[in-house]
Amino acid sequence: MAKTADSPILEVENLTKYYESGGTIVDTLLGRSQEVKALDGVDLELYPGETLGIVGESGCGKTTLAQTLLRLIEPTAGSVRYKGEDLTGASNDRLRALRKDIQYIFQDPFASLNPRLTVGDIVGEPLDIHGIADGEARTERVNDLLETVGLNQRHTHRYPHEFSGGQRQRIGIARALAVDPEVIVCDEPVSALDVSVQAQILNLLTDLQSEFGLSYIVIAHDLSVVEHIADRVGVLYLGEFAEVGPTENVFQPPYHPYAEALLSAIPEPDPGWEGDRIFLSGDVPSPLNPPSGCRFHTRCPRVIQPEGTDMAQSEWRSLMDLKQRLRKADSLEAVTAVKDSVEDEDLRQLSRSALETRVRAEFGLPDTVGDREAEGVLATALDHLHDEAFEAAQTAMDDAFESPCERTDPALFDVGDDHQIACLLYDDDHPDTSTRASSR
C-alpha cells in the first residue's frame, strides 16, 4: 500500500501463510501433503490514528491475515514490524509484552468470552496478566472501562450469557482497551450483530479512536461496514490484494472488477433504485490450487479477450465458464445442468442438437455467438462433448480461448494518488477501454 507523509506504526511485508493439507486418504498414507495458500505475499502499512479496512468474501484470507499479524498463528514467510521492531522474530516473552500495544477483537462476541468468568474478571484478566493493576485500582479500572464502552459497574458480577450480542461485543472491546493498546485488529467485529447494533458498535469504535488515538485494522466481508469508518481499504481475494487505496477512491471508478462486484451488492436505501447487480460466476477457487495468472479470472465479468476475438463480454464470460467446467468434466452430467432434467435421464441418449441446446441454456449462450471463429470452435467442442471425448473438447476450448488474464499475474498498478489495482485492464500492455469500469 502506498505510504503517506507519516511513518507507519505497523508494516507488513510479503506476509505468507501456507497450511499443509493431507489431500486424499492415499496422499495421507503415503506422506504426501498439499499446501493451502491461505495468504500469499501481502504487503500493507497502518499509520497512527488510521483505520484500515480489509474486505473480501469468505475464504479469501481475511481472518488468516488478522491472526498472522499478531502471531496468533505463525506465518510461513514475511515480516510484521511494529514501530520498526520485527514481531515475527520476537521471543515469546517479548511478544507477550508487545501484545499490550496490539490487541484483538474477535468475530464472535460470545465464543470469545469465557462463560465461567464474570464480566469483571474477563475485563480485568489482561490487567492481571500484564501486572497493570490489582486490588482497588483494578476494580476502578474495570468499572471505568465498562463505562467507557457504554456499560456500567452493575454488570461486573454478571456472566456473558446474560448479555445481548451487542453488549458482549462491548465487553470484548473493554477487554481489548484494558492494556491501553495503540493498535486494535477488529476481526469482523459486527458481522454477528443486528444492523442497528452494528451501527452502535461502529460508532463506539470511532469515538474510542478519537478519545484514545487508536489505530484500527477492521476486517469485514461487507464493504458497507468499512465505508464510513475506514480511511483506506484493501480488497483481498484468494490471499492477495486486488485493490488498495483511500476509501473514497475505492468506492468510485476506476474499480477492480472484484471490488466493483462487491460494491454492487451494497443495498441502497431507495426502494426504487434499480442499479445493476453484478453476479460472479462460480465460487472462490480452492487455495489448494489457485488459478494461474490473475486469480480472479475464473469469475471475472470483464476478463480480457485474446487478440483477434471480438464478441459481447457476456458471451466471452460464458465461454470461459464452459471451458472451466470442461477442465473438471468426466461425464456429461458434470457439464450440463441436471436440476431440471427428468429423473434417471440418460444424457448419453441425447441427440447432438439436444445436447447443444442444454449446454447453451446452462451457460447462457445465444444460438450463435457474435464471433464467427469462436462459434466454430464451440461447435467443434460440442461435437467432442457429444462423443464423450472430454479431453478433446477441453483442448479445443483451451487452444482457442486463452485470455491474457490466465497467463499473467498482474502487479498493483497505480491508477491515482495512493490508489492501486491489480488488474491487466490497467496495464498499458493490455489496453481495453471498452471494458473498464463505469460509475455505479
* DSSP output for 262-297: HHHTSPPS-TT----PPPPSS-PPPTTSPPSSSTTT
Q: Decide if pLDDT at 1 tops 60.
A: no
Residues β-bridged to residue 17? 39
pLDDT band (50, 70, 90) for residue 436: very low
436 φ/ψ angles, rounded to the nearest 5 degrees: -70, 155
**Residue 192 vs residue 73, higher pLDDT:** 73
Q: pLDDT (tens digit, 9 = 90+) per residue, 99-121? A: 999 999 998 888 889 999 999 99
**Does residue 433 surpass a pLDDT of 50?**
no
Q: 85-89, 357-361, 393-397, 431-435: which has the minimum mean pLDDT? A: 431-435
Look at residue 5 in the predicted model and tell me its pLDDT: 47
- Please report which confidence band the pLDDT of residue 279 belongs to, taking 50, 70 and 90 as the band edges: confident
Q: What is the pLDDT of residue 2?
A: 43
Is the dihedral angle over the CA atoms 344, 318, 298, 261 positive or is it negative?
Answer: negative
Hey, which bits of 221-277 come out as E strands? 232-237, 240-246
pLDDT band at 222 (very low <50, low <70, confident <90, very high): confident
Give the helix/strand (H/E) hosting 206.
Answer: helix 195-212
For the 10-262 domain, the top CATH level (class) is: alpha beta
Q: What is the mean pLDDT of residues 326-333?
A: 88
pLDDT, tens digit, for every residue of 58-67? Answer: 889 999 999 9
Cell 448479555 belongs to: 163
Whole-structure pTM value = 0.88
Q: Return the C-alpha cell found at 2.
A: 502506498
CA distance 94 to 29: 40
Sequence-distant (6+) residues with CB within 8 A of 348 are: 332, 388
Instruction: Return the C-alpha torsion angle 272, 278, 282, 285, nearest 10.
Output: -130
CA distances from 390 to 109, 232, 359, 361, 400 (A): 49, 46, 14, 19, 16
Q: In the chain, what is the straight-line distance between the N-terminal and C-terminal CA atoms, in Å?
A: 25
Domain ranges of the chain: 10-262, 313-402
Any residues with CB less than 8 A from the CB of 78 and at least 6 apart, and which? 12, 13, 14, 15, 16, 41, 42, 88
Is residue 145 predicted with pLDDT exceeding 50?
yes
Query: Amino acid letter at 329?
Result: A
What's residue 270's pLDDT? 59
Query: What's the pLDDT band for 438 if we cut at 50, 70, 90?
Result: very low
Q: Are 261 and 56 in contact (CB under 8 A)?
A: no
Q: With contact defined as beta carbons under 8 Å apart, do 229 and 202 qualify?
A: yes
CB 188 within 8 A of CB 107: yes
Which of 289, 326, 306, 260 lies closest to 406, judged by CA? 306
Rounded-to-integer distance, Cα 406 and Cα 293, Å? 5
The pLDDT tens digits for 146-168 are 999 999 999 999 999 999 999 99
